[in-house]
Chains A and B, each alone.
Chain A
Amino acid sequence: MECSDIRNKLQVFLDDLLTEQEYKEFCEHIDSCQKCRDYVRSVGNLSNQLWKLGKVRVPDDIIPTILFRLREQKQRIERIRFGLDAVIIILLFIILAIFFMSDYYRKNQIFLKSKKESYNSMPQQDYSYTQDIVSKTDEWQESRSFEEEMHIAEEDADKEEIISDETKTTLPTFRPSDVVEKVYLRDIPFHWHLRYSQKREGRLDLLDMLIANNIIPIYQKYGIIVFNSSGRNIEGLVEKILLTCEKDCSLVNFTGTVFTPPDKERRVSIYFEYDKTNSLHWHIDPIISNNKSYLLEILEKISVDIDYKSDEMIVLSVPNSEIKKLKAKIQATGASILEYGHTEIKQEDALLTSSPITISIYFTK
């Protein structure tokens, strides 16, 4: 049998289909021929041959290499995670900062817009009444425009506002800021009438009470006591006054709606009314500035002596014979007069009819 025969009969040999004679010759050939023997081995059981290929020598250091590379991978992952965390935190911080800044900006814009709208929606002022206010106080030198008033009010934010019931009715219902209120700033002192039914000495008792409460009168003559006191004390003063004179007096507050902050001083004037008095006390209705100056001129021409003068009160001596004339001139200006007290001229004092009579005039508001 030749080598070519071996190749041709190999599959038949593997299937065990050779005749006995062919099998004998086949085996004798592969025993003598190395190449055919190798060929038969390789092809004869291919699967077995391939399986034998699996028996290889593996390097001893491959396991440590695997462990080392695993540790490297873990460290790389941790570095990436740390970096990602840092980036996320920074992004969150930036987003939060943008959010809060935009929110602050939005709220600030809303606030400014509302302020602007409130200023634009303020109603027009009653300038006639404002002029009236100007005439009554010495502080108002000249009338100002609404814009000037706003500017002054903004500069002097500490000035308090005093609002009476009369002013409240004309004040705008919408008062967004101090700007509107500053226009109505004025000094309005308190003015009370203390009516004594019997005792004339009540005035002395009242003076003692005031001094005991550290109140020093500025003026106290002709049935008038004038003093300064803080708003806080004034509130308690009414009660003390009534307690001082007990049942024999009653207090009428002609400025009951004047508002005084607790720590702000206000002037208080008290006019004493007795059954018999030797002084007159006139309440003159609100007058415009021109008439007030005109009236003051009249008073100064007639009067002999101005004993006390303030923005709302004048105490002066007027000749008895001039009282009626003075009263007529005041009424001629259109102002109305409420008279308190009366003069009592005794027969024996008829020669003294030309002696001056004290008139205290209170310009009501």
Chain B
Amino acid sequence: MGYIDNEKMVKELFNLYGHKVFAFILYLVGLDQDWAYDICADSFVEAIGMNLSPNESFLTKLISIAISKARITKIMPEFGGLDFLQVSEADKGALRIVLEAFCKLDFETKVILLLRDQMNLGYEKISNIMHKSEVDVKTKLVQARLLLRKEIENIFNSKTR
């Protein structure tokens, strides 16, 4: 088992991937920051202590661990003031609708949307993480966007009536 006894190395790794992974985990666990904090820290500890396979990157390993830990959590999201978002207030209005719709999706749909649009990962890495072919990933992604759009319309319609 590999072990990195280097504080500087840990900081560099977190600076590279920590913010995105924390956000990724946050949306998977229904916006619960405490859960996101623990899962993020544990995922880093576990990923640092594991040996990587030849074609595996640290990020994909980290995300895989985070997904497995987040999968077991089932929390009802609460939408407060979205203070954790570092965006303008105007964007927060639009993002609130998106978040509400996003939280209604199933876990796998959330994962693929976040991996593509939030983490900006390529199809190859997504296929490695989700253990699916690239064709399946593309298909799932289109379906995921349609589902999200439908949820947004439902929310909009319910609010405009």
Q: Residues of A at under 8 Å CB distance from B?
A: 3, 7, 34-35, 38-39, 41-43, 46-47, 49-59, 62-63, 65-67, 69-70, 73-74, 77
Contacts and interface: CB of A to CB of B under 8 A. Distances in A.
**Which of A43, A53, A74 has the most chain B CB atoms inside 10 A of its CB?**
A53
Contact of B148 (A38, A39, A46, A70): A46
A38 B153 contact: no
Given A35-B159, A56-B26, A65 B41 contact: yes
A66 B160 contact: no
A50 B114 CA distance: 7
B10 interface: yes
Interface residues of B, number: 55
Nearest to A45: B94
A200 B118 CA distance: 138
Interface stretch (B64-72, B81-89, B123-131, B132-140): B81-89
Nearest to A69: B45
A62 B40 CA distance: 8
B118 A7 contact: no
Interface string B5-28: 101001100100011101110110
A50 B103 CA distance: 12
**Which of A42, A49, A62 has the most chain B CB atoms inside 10 A of its CB?**
A42
A46 B159 contact: no
A57 B84 contact: yes
A14 to B, nearest CB: 11
A63 B40 CA distance: 10
Contacts of B87: 52, 55
B95 A53 contact: yes
Contacts of B159: 35
**Which of A38, A51, A56 has the most chain B CB atoms inside 10 A of its CB?**
A56
A216 to B, nearest CB: 92
A349 B120 CA distance: 153
A67 B84 contact: no
A51 B118 contact: yes
A51 B120 contact: yes
A49 to B, nearest CB: 5
A54 B45 contact: no
A70 B84 contact: no
Contacts of B91: 41, 52
B48 A70 contact: yes
A110 B88 CA distance: 94
A47 B153 contact: no
A140 B148 CA distance: 121
A65 B160 CA distance: 45
Interface in B30-46: 33, 37, 40-42, 44-45
B119 to A, nearest CB: 8
A364 to B, nearest CB: 93
Nearest to B100: A42
B19 A43 contact: no
A32 B149 CA distance: 23
B113 A50 contact: yes
Instruction: Please list the 6 inter-chain residue pairs (A to B) with the smallest Cβ-Cβ separation, ordered nearest first.
Output: A50-B117, A41-B94, A56-B23, A55-B86, A42-B94, A47-B117
